[in-house]
């Protein structure tokens, strides 16, 4: 099968797969279905900040499951050939531009770094997130030259 796109995966999509609360069951299934397409339909990318944010959340909220969940992340990265990318000068230049161009305070600092990193990698075409503030901000996509998608849009 031909690869349809190169996707930067936001931390919230990974964490969505680990959700235990029943009210988020549908979102969990959507995230799992989307991520299962990595390597076959889409090439996946995460940054070192995604790994760090994932680890921080696990340590704060699911400490008793830490080893199992870190194993899950490792298996996901290796099993679906996810590329971990770092930052460069261009990322921080884009971050400055983003901070000047988008005043939405609902988009936090780490999300701005992730968006900037995704937009400066010429291979990446889409930023995948379930965060409403990012999905609904009309200026982001044009400013970053990225399509911003919810995984649900891509599995239908």
H helix or E strand, kind and range, residue 39: none
In this structure, whether the domain defined by 5-155 belongs to CATH 2.40.50.180 is answered with no
CA 81 to chain centre: 15
CA distance 115 to 113: 5
H helix or E strand, kind and range, residue 55: helix 48-61
User: Where are the strands (E) in the chain, listed by range?
Assistant: 5-9, 42-47, 83-85, 126-128, 147-149
CB neighbours of residue 4 within 10 Å: 14
Give the global pTM.
0.94
Structure tokens at 16: 């969505």
DSSP letter (8 states) at residue 155: H
pLDDT at position 144 is 94
pLDDT at position 58 is 93
β-strands 42-47, 83-85: how paired?
parallel
pLDDT at position 156 is 75
DSSP letter (8 states) at residue 71: H
Domain ranges across the chain: 5-155
Q: Answer for the pair 31, 71: CB distance below 8 angstroms, yes or no.
A: no
Tell me the pLDDT of the chain (156 aa) as tens digits: 689 999 999 999 999 999 888 889 999 999 999 999 999 999 999 999 999 999 999 999 888 989 999 999 999 999 999 999 999 999 999 999 999 988 888 899 999 999 999 999 999 999 999 999 999 998 898 999 999 999 999 997
């Amino acid at each position: 099968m031909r690869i349809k796109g190169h996707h930067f995966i936001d931390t919230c999509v990974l964490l969505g797969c680990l959700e235990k609360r029943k009210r988020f069951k549908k979102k969990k299934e959507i995230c799992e279905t989307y991520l299962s397409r990595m390597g076959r339909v889409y090439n996946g990318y995460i940054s070192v900040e995604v790994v760090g944010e994932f680890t921080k959340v696990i340590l704060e909220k699911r400490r008793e499951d830490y080893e199992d969940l870190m194993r899950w992340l490792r298996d996901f990265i290796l099993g679906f050939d996810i590329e971990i990318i770092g930052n460069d000068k261009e990322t921080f230049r884009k971050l400055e531009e983003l901070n000047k161009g988008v005043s939405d305070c609902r988009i936090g600092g780490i999300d701005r770094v992730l968006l900037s990193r995704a937009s400066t990698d010429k291979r990446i075409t889409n930023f995948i997130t379930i965060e409403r503030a990012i999905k609904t901000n009309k200026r982001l996509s044009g400013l970053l030259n990225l399509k911003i998608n919810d995984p649900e849009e891509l599995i239908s």
